[in-house]
Structure 1
C-alpha cells in the first residue's frame, strides 16, 4: 500500500511539473500530430531537493573562455559537456549548460560584465524554493534581445549554466534513501 501511494505521489508530482513547467517546450508537431518527449531524469537542487530542470534539456554549448571542457558521464550514463569557468574574482566553477531551468524571479538587471558567452548578458540563477534560494548558476540571454529588460528568465534563445556541485539527479537521491526491509521467518 505504501509503495502504491509513493508511486501515485511521484506520478502526480511528475505530471504537475510537466504541465506547469515543461509542457510548452516538450511538444512539437510532426506531420500534424503531437508527440511528447519522455522525461529522462529530474535534476534537483542539492540543498533542498526542489526541481531545477530535467536531463532532456542538456546542451553542448562551450564558452570560448572555458579553462577546460570535457564530456563526462553523468545522469543515467549520459555524456554531458562539463566546463570549468572562472569569474572576475578568480573563483572557478564546473558548469553544465541547459536550455530550460526553474530559477527564482529576482529583480536585478541583466549584465554583460565578464560574460562567459560573448553576445549574451547574464544574471544569477537562484533555487526557486523560497526557503532555500541557493545560488545554482547563471541565466544567459542574447544581448540584442528586444525584451531583455522585461525578462525574468531567458527566452527560447537563452540558456542556463548550472553549477555541477549544486545539483543532483532524483535517481541519485532515491539511491540514498533507505527502503523498507522485508523480514523472513526462520
Structure 2
C-alpha cells in the first residue's frame, strides 16, 4: 500500500492525530480537491486489490490532514463522500466483534465491536449539511474512516485479550460481513 501512496502507521505518526475540518465557503475548493485526490487514490488501489467487504479511505491516509473520507460499500462503485463528518448518535445495540483491516497497516486483521448503526452529520463537497444514518456493514466502514479523522485506529477498539493477527492467519478473506 505504501507504493500506492497510502501512509503507513509505522512511518506516519500523523495518523494518530485528530485533523481539522474545512471552513465553508472559504475551503470549498480545497474540499473538492481533497475528495478528488481520495478518488484517485481509491482508483489506484482498486487496480491491484479487490475488497469483498467494501473499502474506505480517509484524507490523513494520503497525507492530507483534513476531515474528509470516501467509502465504497461492498459490491458498489458508488462512493459515499464524507466532508467534515462527525458521529452524532450511535445505536445502543452493538454488533458482534468482526474482523477489520486497514490500508495503513494492511498485513494484519483484528476483531472489533461497533454499533449496529451510527448517525453522521457531514457535508457534501458544495458545503450542504446532511444527516445520514448508516447501519450494518456500511456503518462499520463509515465509523472506521471517521475514527481515522479523530486519530483513532481500529486496533484501539480491540477487546481485552484480543490481538491483531496476520493476514495469512485470517481465514475470512473474500467473505463479506453478513447482517
TM over 0.5: same fold? no
Q: Which one has more relative contact order, counting CA pairs under 8 Å at least 6 apart?
A: 2
More helix by share: 2
TM-score range normalised by the length of the shorter chain: under 0.3
More strand by share: 1
Q: TM-score, normalised by structure 1?
A: 0.25
